[in-house]
A = this chain, B = another copy of it.
Amino acid sequence: MNREVCTAMVIEAKQEKQITYQHIAQAINRNIVWTTSAILGQNTFDATEAKIICEILDLDATVEKALQIFPEKGVTAIMPPTDPLIYRLYEIVLVYGETIKQVIHEKAGDGIMSAIDFTMDIEKEENPKGDRIKITLDGKFLPYKKW
């Protein structure tokens, strides 16, 4: 079973059983963002995690094995995104990308924020003027090596 078929089966089972990403994340003791990304085929579960997920969703050993494949990342994304929610993130890179570059360089010198040694958190904050979404990106600063 390849990873795409596996992803589709997990999502279908999850919908049918009405189980949330948060529930699965807690069961494997991981953050909801990382767990969701791994279910969507952008990160890799280890054997223990894969087993727990398949028990929760009542899926067999083929799925369990496929959840441990190192995935091809990003292949299902559409760029520029057509979905308004994802497009707004793209627009932030379009409009603020150079700003982020200048501010990081001013604060930390020539280098980048890693997207590999990296974590993300997403929170909803209730607010009387309208709730807000808070996304926190946290990546290691990697200075450019000279040689």
Which residues of A are at the interface with B, using a C-beta cutoff of 8 A? Answer: 2, 8, 12, 15, 20-22, 30-34, 36-37, 40, 42-44, 65, 69-70, 72-120, 122-124, 127, 129-147
Contact = CB atoms under 8 A, between A and B. Distances in A.
Contacts of A141: 124, 130-133
A91 B108 contact: no
A74 B94 CA distance: 5
Judged by DSSP, the binding face of A is mixed
Contact of A37 (B43, B65, B89, B99): B99
B20 A106 contact: yes
Given A40-B98, A94-B82, A146-B30, A88 B103 contact: no
